[in-house]
Amino acid sequence: MAVVLLQAMLCALTVPALAGDDQMGFTSYYFSDSGDNNVFTTSFSLAKKVLQQTALLIDIELDHVKVPAVTAVTGATRPQRRINEPFEKSRGQVILGLEQGLGQNTTFATNIYRSQELDYVSTSVIGTVSQDLNDKNTTLTVRGQYNADLVGKILENGDLVNKKKKVYTGSVNVAQLLSSTTVLDLGYDFVYLKGFLSDPYRQVKAFDMDGTYEIVDELHPSSRTRQAVAGKISQMIPTIKASLIGSYRYYFDSWKVKSHTVEVKLNKYIVNDLIFGVNYRYYSQGAAYFTKGKYVGLEFRGDAFRTADYKLKKFGSNNFGFSLELLLQGLGRLNPDLEFLQNSSIELMYFRYFNDLDFSANIVQGSLKFSI
């Protein structure tokens, strides 16, 4: 699958594929922004080959999230209970999978996914078929997924109320090897959501004509169809040990939201085993049809749609960042006792995000990856 191997090299300029049949990985990840939101993630994965063309997969992930206290009515997605105190919660995720080769050019994979936290539970089944064509210079991938979610709300008295949401996802991707150093990706995604699609914690002000208001929960339509088409071209530049990746994505949905995303990323070896990355992304979108600057009228205290989600407003955003990734393979080569480090790395990232809704954030991310 030449096109897939080149994609991996272009996207990360990172650790080469493992030589053995079995793979085991460990990742620790930390996220923090200027709003004092913090996420710490630890994950473990194991892929075990059980037959010539059959492999089993298990992936376990644990997250810990800390959200700061809220001092006013906002779009924050956290319980109102003890709102003047920081809110912390943990999430556990387990994925069990089976990958089966069907001849030399076809692979079928199926996964069962379960994610659970204090106020959200998600269960899904995923199926993927990948087919190599054109002497393995073209890869066609078709994927389908079904999610059954329980969206919970923690009330002020500590009780939990759950509502149901279902998600149906389908995607088609074609990866084409254009040359020995260039890969073109084209993709289409379709998502249909049904059920409770609001955030149970977000609230809006519903005004009367005289200017008085009542704080009410946001209310979104109970169904949504989302579609997107995307293209990406990845170019390896061997003469300077670098890769350049450019992509564009167009999105549209049944809530009348349309968006454009343009992204450019450069990865460059500074010295052996040290990769410098620079990334820029521009995003713009229109508003959902029911988004208003101010909700005035008694109907907004009833069943009229309303939202406090800034992601449904018209806005544009910029995201600019740098990264440094240190590959630990050199330590593994020099010391037999540290051979397990040959497929491991440490990465630090900084991003500056800002949009025209008067919101900005400095984001710091760090990750430690072990793969043996």
The model's confidence at residue 317, banded by pLDDT at 50, 70 and 90, is very high
Whether the pLDDT of residue 20 is over 70: the answer is no
**Would 24 be classed as within a structural domain?**
yes
The number of distinct structural domains making up the chain is 1
Q: Which pLDDT score, from 0 to 100, does residue 21 have?
A: 62
What CA–CA distances, in Å, run from 7 to 2, 23, 82, 184?
9, 19, 47, 9
Q: What are the DSSP E strand ranges found in 180-222?
A: 182-195, 203-207, 213-217
Residue 324 belongs to some domain of the structure = yes
pLDDT tens digits for range 47-89: 999 998 999 999 999 999 888 765 444 444 656 655 666 778 8
Average pLDDT, the chain: 88
User: Using CA atoms, how far apart are residues 347 and 332, in angstroms rounded to an integer?
Assistant: 17
pTM over 0.95: no
- Whether the CB-CB separation of 279 and 320 falls below 8 Å is answered with yes
- In the chain, the N- to C-terminal Cα span, in Å, equals 22
* 309 domain-assigned: no
pLDDT of 99-122, one tens digit each?
999 989 999 999 999 999 989 999
* Residue 279: domain span: 2-201+222-289+314-371
Classify residue 274: in a domain, yes or no: yes
Q: Is residue 27 part of a domain?
A: yes
Asked, for residue 294, whether it belongs to a domain, the answer is no
Instruction: For residue 163, give the CATH number of its domain.
Output: 2.40.160.10
Query: In this prediction, what percent of the chain has a pLDDT beyond 90?
Result: 70
